[in-house]
């Protein structure tokens, strides 16, 4: 049975967003500059409730745009070319992992939003800051891998070696070659950080499997179509090595000492309810 997603997160996130928007405005005004939008990263494992949160959390009195990592996928032709360039790397044979996004498009959209100029998202029909409309004050960039930061090659190898030596075959990390993991890790260098970060974290990251199984079961029941349980497991397996590599850094805090207070972490239980809240 699908567990109901309860919005008990907005009560924590709205004040956090408002706080950082105010700080951003004061910082610009103190310099005699036009206030910039507040750029917020939102990370959450698949099924944790990001969609519900983004539909309610930004202060709705403020012009807000939600940009998903899914908006930055390249064309099918470009994805096929990437996959064929490394046909033996299973991590990039489908969209999703770092390296499979159109970072040039993302950079142009963020630059336009920062300059409060018109800019396109994935399609021309999704233009932002259009003439005659209020310019955007809050930009929420959400996705399952948003906020991931690259590790050193030595750190990746250490995690991979430990997984293999301890025979953690129930995980996915040990099942991949080191060079394939390093390729994805290197790609993260092109993913820049923003003003503030919200992380919807699961008490047990493996809950992502059950949450995705629930979602697909609901789709099959309501629409008669959806992935089978086996397909869901294989699908999540493709993403899971990244959770194993980068979740620890998310939990420790993605900003350096100068960024204290810029990260909000909501820890949710199996039922997606907030169990605790941390600031970093």
Which one, of 110, 108, 109, 82, lies nearest residue 95 by Cα?
A: 82
Q: What is the mean pLDDT of the chain?
A: 85
pLDDT at 124: 43
pLDDT above 90 covers a percentage of the chain that reads 43
The verdict on residue 241 lying in a domain is: yes
The verdict on residue 125 lying in a domain is: yes
Q: In angstroms, what CA-CA distances link 218 with 2, 50, 103, 221?
A: 7, 18, 33, 5
pTM listed for this prediction: 0.87
| Per-residue pLDDT at 207 exceeds 50 | yes
- E strands, the chain, where? 38-44, 64-68, 138-143, 196-202, 263-268, 274-279
33-91 pLDDT tens trace: 888 888 999 999 888 878 777 776 555 567 888 888 888 888 889 999 999 999 999 99
The verdict on residue 275 lying in a domain is: no
Which one, of 142, 146, 162, lies nearest residue 154 by Cα?
A: 162
pLDDT at 167: 63
148-175 pLDDT tens trace: 999 999 999 999 998 988 765 567 998 9
Which tokens belong to 82?
């990437």
pLDDT at 125: 43
The verdict on residue 222 lying in a domain is: yes
pLDDT at 123: 46
State which residues form the domain around 73.
10-270
The verdict on residue 116 lying in a domain is: yes
Domain at 61, CATH number? 3.40.50.300
The verdict on residue 130 lying in a domain is: yes
The verdict on residue 5 lying in a domain is: no
91-139 pLDDT tens trace: 999 888 999 988 887 888 888 888 877 655 544 445 666 677 777 888 8
Strand 38-44 and strand 263-268: the pairing is unpaired
The verdict on residue 234 lying in a domain is: yes
Q: How many structural domains compose the chain?
A: 1
Decide: helix, strand or coil at residue 42. Answer: strand
Q: What is the DSSP string of 123-166?
A: SGGG-BS-TTSPPPSEEEEEETTTT--PPPHHHHHHHHHHHHHT
């Amino acid at each position: 049975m699908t567990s109901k997603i309860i919005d008990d997160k907005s009560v924590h996130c709205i004040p956090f967003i408002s706080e950082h928007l105010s700080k951003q405005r004061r910082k610009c005004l103190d310099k005699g500059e036009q206030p910039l939008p507040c750029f917020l990263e939102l990370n959450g494992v698949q099924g944790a409730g990001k969609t519900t949160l983004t539909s309610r959390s930004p202060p709705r009195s403020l012009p807000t745009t939600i940009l998903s990592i899914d908006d930055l996928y390249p064309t099918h032709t470009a994805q096929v070319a990437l996959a064929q360039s490394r046909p033996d790397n299973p991590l990039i044979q489908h969209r999703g992992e770092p390296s499979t996004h159109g970072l040039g498009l993302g950079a142009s959209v963020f630059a336009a939003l920062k300059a409060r100029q018109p800019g396109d998202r994935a399609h021309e029909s999704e233009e932002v800051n259009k003439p005659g409309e209020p310019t955007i004050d809050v930009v929420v960039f959400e996705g399952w891998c948003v906020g991931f930061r690259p590790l050193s090659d030595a750190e990746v190898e250490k995690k991979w070696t430990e997984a293999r030596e301890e025979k953690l075959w129930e995980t996915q990390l040990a099942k991949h070659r080191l060079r394939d993991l390093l390729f994805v890790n290197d790609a993260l260098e092109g993913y820049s950080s923003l003003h503030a970060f919200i992380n919807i974290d699961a008490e047990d990251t493996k809950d992502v499997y059950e949450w995705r199984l629930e979602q697909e079961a609901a789709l099959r029941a309501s629409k008669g179509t959806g992935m089978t349980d086996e397909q869901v497991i294989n699908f999540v397996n493709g993403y899971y090595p990244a959770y194993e590599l980068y979740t620890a850094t998310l939990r420790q805090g993605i900003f350096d000492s100068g960024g204290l207070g810029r990260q909000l972490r909501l820890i949710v239980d199996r039922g997606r309810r907030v169990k605790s809240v941390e600031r970093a």
